[in-house]
Amino acid sequence: MKAVTWQGRRKIEVATVPDPQLVDPTDAVIEVTTTGLCGSDLHLYEVLGPFLDAGDILGHEPMGVVAEVGSEVRELKAGDRVVVPFNVSCGTCFMCERGLHSQCETTQVREHGSGASLFGYTKLYGQVPGGQAEYLRVPFADTLPIRVPEGPPDERFVYLSDVLPTAWQAVVYADVPPGGSVAVLGLGPIGDMCTRVAAHRGAGRVIGIDLVPERLARAAGHGVQVFDLSEYGDQLVDAVRGATGGRGPDAVIDAVGMEAHGGSAVKALQTATGLLPDAMASALMKKAGVDRLGALELAIELVRRGGTISLAGVYGGAADPLPLLTMFDKQIQLRMGQANVRRWVDDLMPLVTDGDPLGVEGFATHHLSLDDAPRAYADFQKKRDSMVKVLFHP
């Protein structure tokens, strides 16, 4: 089959690889019909190379049609249409039963002290072949895939794999009071969807902050009050406070993570680390890795006293310094974590089947073939061609 593979830093290739096979009797194999390119895939493209091997198959936002099921699968059959969550979770362990599917005890990567395995996401998360491919092996076929109805286009459902539950959890964790205010840092796919979810759940004022004109215009088009960081610069905090009664927003969602702009010294360290032999680089990153923390530092400064910060953007540093004095003094609440995809399906399914209140149809800016993946990764990282969300169609 054809698949998108990692071959080195900023080097993505579409390769012919063996078709996936059933391994356990509870497995299924799906034929992928649509699969997304996620902002967190850029961390693999740029920073996390020491935890990848050449040839690893990328991608964690797939949906498709069941091609084959194992002998013990009872809930799925060939021909069923399904979305595959990015967490590889069993659905039955202590953590899954408590809605913490990203901490699944069956698939935790204990070798690295990590939570649940993830599709297409490094040795730290199980090195499970990903979904930017023509076919995908899916374990726990009775409890992991999300069955969706026939009829509506893939774009109505594919975001259940990651974008929708990640944004929903980020807004739930932000704990915006009814009619309250929330600022979203970064208006890429997750940040954009966070603004839509926040408004849907009753936020009175939704603020979006970014540097990219097309992303700002896109958010403004669905009612978000936008601030261009490049325009406001050091005056941004005062401007946002001015829009929120002088206090700052009740909640701030950081949808940027380790890809934050700025922090040239940290960026140089990350780049230098990536040039070390993998064994040395991975050890250094696990013990002393640092992130560019511009977005998180801005969130801490922006949020009102007694407010909440929700981290949706991925951070990977093991030794990140936090301004704990400021956080303690402002009485900030901080919540974070990989989205527990299966936890939120019941909340989200009505929003993609009974109308389209979040605007998922038309959410993608680019529909491409797998062969276009190398160019798409490069354009997405550089924010070229007004690219916000890419869907590949194998």
pLDDT of residue 180 exceeding 50:
yes
Return left, alpha or beta for 203; rule: phi > 0 is left, psi -120 to 50 is alpha, else beta: beta
Q: Are the CB atoms for 116 and 86 separated by under 8 Å? A: no
For residue 114, give every residue at least 6 positions away whose Cβ sits within 8 Å of its Cβ, in sequence order, or none: 108, 124, 125, 126
Q: Are the CB atoms for 274 and 47 separated by under 8 Å? A: yes
How confident is the prediction for the chain on average, in pLDDT? Answer: 90
What pLDDT digit, counting tens, does each position of 231-282 carry?
Answer: 998 899 999 999 999 999 999 999 987 654 444 444 443 444 344 445 433 4
Kindly report the number of other CB atoms within 10 A of residue 97's CB atom.
11
CA neighbours within 13 Å on the CB side: how many for 188? 24
2-162+340-392 sits in which CATH class? Answer: alpha beta
Looking at 3.40.50.720, 3.50.50.60, 2.40.10.120, 3.40.190.10, the CATH number of the domain 164-336 comes to: 3.40.50.720
Res. 323 pLDDT band, cuts 50 70 90: confident
pLDDT of residue 178 exceeding 50:
yes
- Look-up: residue for tokens 């990567």? 109
Mean pLDDT for the stretch of residues 277-304? 63
CA neighbours within 13 Å on the CB side: how many for 384? 7
Mean pLDDT for the stretch of residues 364-368? 97
pLDDT of residue 352 exceeding 90:
yes
Kindly list the domain boundaries of the chain, sorted by start residue: 2-162+340-392, 164-336
List, in sequence order, the alpha helices (H) in 134-232: 163-174, 189-200, 213-220, 229-232
pLDDT of residue 74 exceeding 80:
yes
3-state SS class at 3: strand
Kindly report the number of other CB atoms within 10 A of residue 394's CB atom.
22
Res. 299 pLDDT band, cuts 50 70 90: very high
pLDDT of residue 87 exceeding 50:
yes
- For the chain, how many helices (H) and strands (E)? 13, 16
Tell me the CA end-to-end span of the chain in Å, nearest whole number.
10
DSSP classification of residue 133: B
Q: φ, ψ for residue 276 (rounded to 5)?
A: -75, 160
Q: φ, ψ for residue 262 (rounded to 5)?
A: 85, -170
